Amino acid sequence: MSITEFTAALNQVASERNIDPEDVINTLKEALVAAYKKDHPEISDDEDLEGRLKADIDPDTGEIKIMLDGKDVTPAGFGRIASQTAKQVILQKIREAEKNAIAEEYKEKIGTLTQGFIFRIDNDTVVMDLGKTHGILPISEQIPRERYLVNQKYKVLIKDVVTDEKSGSSTIILSRRDPLFIEKLFEQEVPEITKEIVKIESIAREAGERTKVAVSSTDSKIDPSGACIGQKGVRVQAVTDELNGEKIDIINYSSSPDRFIAAALAPAHVIDVVIDTDEKSALVKVAEDQLSLAIGNKGQNARLAAKLTGYRISIDGSEVVDITPDTTEEDMEHMDIPTKTLVVKKNSDKKAESEDYEKKLEEVAEEVLAKADDAREVRDVADEVEEELLEEATEAEEKAEKIEEEAEKAIVETEDEEKAKEIKEKAREKEAKELAKAEIKEEEAKTVEEIAEKAEDIENENAKDSKKKDSKEKISKKKK
């Protein structure tokens, strides 16, 4: 083999496999020693052989020599005998080098987004095809209740690259649950974040349910939350769609803790916030009718606000409820928190409040069912009421968007920074009220739907009991 041919072939292998040519030479030397030992078993048992037996490869000509104690012991026809063994070892080492190169490449990509297809699902672990290699989406990094199907395409965060010390193999850990995943999705949709005009200050997330994002702006004329929401909500909607409908609240960050905490508790309207900087706690005063909104479903709104701000939050309405950044949903279940009001229109004017939501839901459903001919009538009325409530919620959301657009236009037109701040604050208050109204209507619609479903369940159970009773009576008559 000529110099040109050997060098060209060596460089081609190294280039195709993205490895160092020196690694190919070292791999080839190991393969040749292994092949020689296999062909000469009488020397393989020699414990002192290590270091004495080695292979030399001329980097210019590619000439191969097997050296033992400095003497050339290359047997005749060695290339033909050892070629198959050498080939296998070379391929193995090249694969290892290639895997290491890929691992190093992905280590540099930690904290970035990538796209991949689901290759297979092993129990609860999802294996994704990333193109060059496979990555693992463990159950701890999956969005709860998200359904994964083979060949489905997903965006994922490259969270870590873990190397096994024994085998030396590397595993790429992916995530859709990490709060950083939300930040990177917004970076893709909001150019102002990439340009560092808008900054994501903090994120509090309960994956699959709700996320709160605090944003700030370096330009007083650009509203950070408006930039993230986009015209008619297109930017935030793109992120929500990727998360399969996970609700996202975007909040304007404030260096003033009281304003930040008040904004974090949206859509509830806060009356007053008293800060204790030493204890890093806050006492929040809200109207009695805003208490359930401030706390949220199973304490979720208050819990996320505490995580977002890093403050222990005590909410004072008709009673005081303490929430810390570490409070979990399980902790909330043991707190004495007023349950959201159950609203039933047309069939009942009563409002029911209870700690045991399911029990009260069943009671209201039975009451509504008793006033109707059957569950079908309850369903018809529920659908009508639900449609009205959702229309009202949509109107409130559209009104909030209009308020925001008008405020942005007014801020652009004014050159007075103080006036711009005043316009922004007033718009924020009006917008918060409309969004709070929309959320209440959505909750009411959801409750009406739950009552209709419960009424259908009760009627089905009653029908089963009636059949059983008729069957028993027939058997009793036959026996007589």
Could you tell me the sign of the dihedral formed by the alpha carbons of 302, 304, 305, 310, in that order? positive
Buried b or exposed e, range 176-186, using 16+ CB within 10 angstroms = bbbbbbbbbbb
Spell out the residues 6+ positions from residue 452 whose beta carbon is closer than 8 angstroms to its own: 365, 375, 378, 379, 382, 383
Q: Classify residue 239 as exposed, middle or buried by CB count within 10 Å of its CB (0-12, 13-18, 19+).
A: buried
What CATH number has the domain spanning 3-106? Answer: 3.30.1480.10
pLDDT for residue 112: 93
Helices (H), 143-277: 179-189, 191-194, 224-229, 234-242, 257-264
pLDDT at position 334, please?
A: 52
Separation CA 428–CA 435 (nearest Å): 10
User: Is 461 exposed, middle or buried (CB count within 10 Å of its CB: 0-12, 13-18, 19+)?
Assistant: exposed
The helix or strand, by DSSP H or E, that contains position 251, with its residue range, turns out to be strand 247-252
- Give me the half-sphere count of Cα atoms (radius 13 Å) on the Cβ side of residue 282: 26
* Token output for 315: 């909410």
HSE-CB for 144 with a 13 A CA cutoff:
6
**Residue ranges covered by each domain of the chain:** 3-106, 109-177, 254-338, 342-480
Q: Which pLDDT does position 446 carry in this prediction?
A: 77
Core vs surface per residue 99-119: b (16+ CB within 10 A) or e: ebbbbeebeeeeeebbebebe
Query: Own/partner pairs for 216-219, CB < 8 Å, 24+ apart?
Result: 216/252, 216/253, 217/192
Spatial contact of 125 and 136, defined as CB atoms under 8 Å apart: yes
Q: Is the pTM of this model over 0.85?
A: no
Residue 389 CA from chain centroid, whole number: 30
Give pLDDT, residue 337: 44
Segments in the chain below pLDDT 50: 1-3, 318-320, 336-355
The whole-number pLDDT of residue 332 equals: 54
CA dihedral 337, 316, 319, 445 (to 10 degrees): -40
For residue 140, give the amino acid letter: S
Tokens of 33: 């020693």
* Secondary structure class of 285 (helix, strand, coil): strand
Residue 339: the pLDDT is 32
User: How far apart are the C-alpha atoms of 409 and 420, rounded to whole Å?
Assistant: 10
For 441, other C-beta atoms within 10 Å of its C-beta total: 21
For domain 254-338, which architecture applies?
2-Layer Sandwich (3.30)
Which CATH number is correct for 109-177, 2.40.50.140, 3.40.50.300, 1.20.140.10, 1.10.10.60? 2.40.50.140
Predicted pLDDT of residue 351:
34
Task: Provide the pairing of β-strand 125-129 with 153-163.
Answer: unpaired
Q: Are 216 and 199 contacting, i.e. CB atoms less than 8 angstroms apart?
A: yes
Predicted pLDDT of residue 52? 79
